[in-house]
A and B are shown apart, each in its own frame.
Chain A
C-alpha cells in the first residue's frame, strides 16, 4: 500500500477538521450521526428558535487558537529544498489552509503538526495527533528496526482508539483504517522510501509537461 497517499489524506483530513475548512469531517450531519448513534450527548446539535447550534467539540480550535496555529505555519522558514513554501497555502485572515501538495502534507505530518499544535487543543486529542505524527515519522525513517516496528503496530491501534474517543465517527474513512496495516507492510517489505509514490508522481508530471 502506498504510504504517500495515506499520509496525505490523513493529514489533510486532520487539518481540515481542526480548522473547519475544505473537507471538514465535522458539521451538522456529523453531529446528527452522533445523535443517531446515541453517543456523546454533550456534542449533539441544539435547536434554539430557528437556529441550530453545534456545541464546541474537543477537536475544534477556538478562533484565537486557529490564529496561533496558522501564524505558526505561516512564519515557518526552512532550508532550501526542505519543502515548498507552506506560507503560500496558509491564509491568516480567514485561518484556512488550501492548496497544499502531498509533499507539504508529508512535511506537515512528519514535523510541523506536533510543533504547530503545541499547547493548543485539549490534551486528549492533542496527544492522539502527536502519537499519529510520531508513528508516521518512525515509519518513514531510512533505517528501521523490526522490533520497533512491531511495537509501533500495537501502538497505532491504541492511537486510533484515542482518535475514536475524541473525534466524530465521520472522521474514520478508509484511509484512517489503512494506517493499521502500514506497520505490517513495512515489517515485511522494508523501508517506505523504496516503494512510495513520490517518484512516480513526479514522472507523471514530467510526461504531462512533455505532452502539452
Chain B
C-alpha cells in the first residue's frame, strides 16, 4: 500500500502486536546468487527466491490518477458531509464503469491505487508529464 513507486506490488506485512504494516523482504532486490538469499536463520527462517516487482511507469501513474478528484479544504467531522463525498465518488465510479466496459479490471485496480494518493498535482494536466515522470 505505502510506496508510490512500487504501487500495489509493495511487499508488506502486518505486525500483530506493534499494529502496523512493515515493508521488509528487501532480499528480493539482491542478485540471484547472493549468499544472503539462502541464509534462513539470519532472516525470517526462509530462503528467498523471489524477485522485486516491476515499478510503476509514468503512464500507469497518470492512468491511475486520471479519474482522481481533488477536494480541497478541511472535511468537518459531521457525518453528513462525509457521506455525501462517499456517494459522489460511488456515482463517479459507476459512471466510469458504464462508460468503459472494457476496462473494468483497470477501474478496480484504480480504487486500490487511488487510496494511496491525496492529491492529483496540476502538473498531470501537462500533455507530456507522463513521459517526464520516469
Contact = CB atoms under 8 A, between A and B. Distances in A.
A173 B20 contact: yes
Nearest to B29: A157
Contacts of B5: 1, 181
Interface string B1-28: 0111100001001011111111110110
B3 A178 contact: yes
B17 A169 contact: no
A170 B44 contact: no
Contact of B24 (A154, A164, A181): A164
A177 B55 CA distance: 13
B45 interface: yes
Contact of A170 (B18, B29, B31, B34): B18
B26 A161 contact: yes
A172 B24 contact: yes
Interface residues of B, number: 30
B17 A32 contact: yes
Most buried by B among A29, A164, A165, A177: A177
Interface stretch (A35-43, A71-79, A141-149): A35-43
Interface in A146-204: 154, 157-158, 160-161, 164-165, 169-174, 176-178, 180-181, 188
B131 interface: no
Contacts of B34: 158
Nearest to A38: B45
Given A174-B3, A181-B5, A33 B17 contact: yes
Interface residues of A, number: 29
A36 B27 CA distance: 21
B30 interface: yes
A158 B36 contact: yes
B42 interface: yes
B134 interface: yes
A135 to B, nearest CB: 13
Contacts of A180: 26, 29
B26 A164 contact: yes
B43 interface: yes
Nearest to B4: A1
A38 B16 CA distance: 13
B60 to A, nearest CB: 16
Interface string A76-94: 0000000000000000000
11 contacts: A1-B5, A30-B17, A33-B16, A36-B16, A157-B26, A157-B30, A160-B26, A170-B22, A172-B24, A173-B23, A180-B29
Interface of A: 1, 28-30, 32-33, 36-39, 154, 157-158, 160-161, 164-165, 169-174, 176-178, 180-181, 188
Given A30-B17, A170-B15, 9 more contacts: A29-B19, A36-B16, A36-B17, A161-B26, A165-B39, A165-B43, A177-B3, A177-B10, A181-B55
